[in-house]
Amino acid sequence: MGLYVYDIYRNPNIGIFAKANDNYLILPQGYAKNKAERLASLIESKPVFVSIGYTRLLGPLSILNNKGILVSRFASDEEIVSLQNQTGLYVQRFNSNYSSVGNLICANDYGAVVSPLLGDKDIQQVEEVLKVPVRKTSIAGMKQVGAILMATNKGSLVHPKASEDEIKLISETLKVSCEPGSVNGGIPYVTSGLIANSKGGIVGSQTVGPEMFVITKAFKL
């Protein structure tokens, strides 16, 4: 349990390349096994290797909790089968006009906050695959809520300009407290520089002390 600093591919934007739930850390195909095992151990999870749409941009192209995984419509059948086989979770291609599913949805095991860009069929699919109730909202005037909100089953971190009403809605939906904050020296797109689950968190190397303090508090690490 704790917050750790680590870069992936010498890049502090670690959340672009990796995503976690309480059991698995999903990393790009071909990522060094020793580094993967080290990273996964920090948050007490098991490394899983996959590509999505034949890219390593796993963060924007997926969303997961401990119940299921939604991946971009660009994901191949082989990639979906590989992810299912390695995690044992139900994996489904997101049947939406929008490909960056991870930028449009934030979820834990209690709820999901989704972009107002998503339609009724999109929301129904989120409910069915992640098995959680869904609330639609913009945050800080932005519709890409998955890029500016990160949640675990213990807490959440949101764009520093989120309003009190938005923070209240997030807390009510996800059933955890919510703290405004940033990563990597003031970046408000918190999922870009952060990987977290209920057991620990990892931030990019540009994240400064006061940000780490807020993140530790937000996720109760």
Cα–Cα distance for residue pair 10/144, rounded to 1 Å? 26
**What is the structure's pLDDT at 140?**
98
Domain containing 68 equals 3-218
Phi, psi of 5 (to 5 degrees): -110, 130
Using 70 as the pLDDT threshold, list the residues of the chain that sit under it: none
CA distances from 202 to 4, 158, 185, 197 (A): 5, 16, 15, 9
Among candidate residues 108, 151, 213, the one with its CA nearest the CA of residue 15: 151
Cα–Cα distance for residue pair 191/221, rounded to 1 Å? 17
Q: What is the DSSP code (8-state) at residue 96?
A: S
Q: How many domains does the chain have?
A: 1
Phi, psi of 53 (to 5 degrees): 60, 30
**What is the structure's pLDDT at 153?**
98
Q: Which string of DSSP letters, residue by residue, matches 7-66?
A: -BTTBS-GGGT-EE-SSEEEEETT--HHHHHHHHHHTT-EEEEE-BTTBS-TTTTEEE-S
CB 9 within 8 A of CB 52: no
| CATH code of residue 173 | 3.75.10.10
Among candidate residues 219, 171, 174, 169, the one with its CA nearest the CA of residue 195: 219
Beta-strand relationship, 194-197 and 200-203: antiparallel
Q: What share of the chain is helix, strand, coil (3-state, %, to 5)?
A: 30, 25, 40
CB 112 within 8 A of CB 136: no
Q: What is the pLDDT of residues 129-179, one digit of tens each?
A: 999 999 999 999 999 999 999 999 999 999 999 999 999 999 999 999 999
**What is the structure's pLDDT at 1?**
82
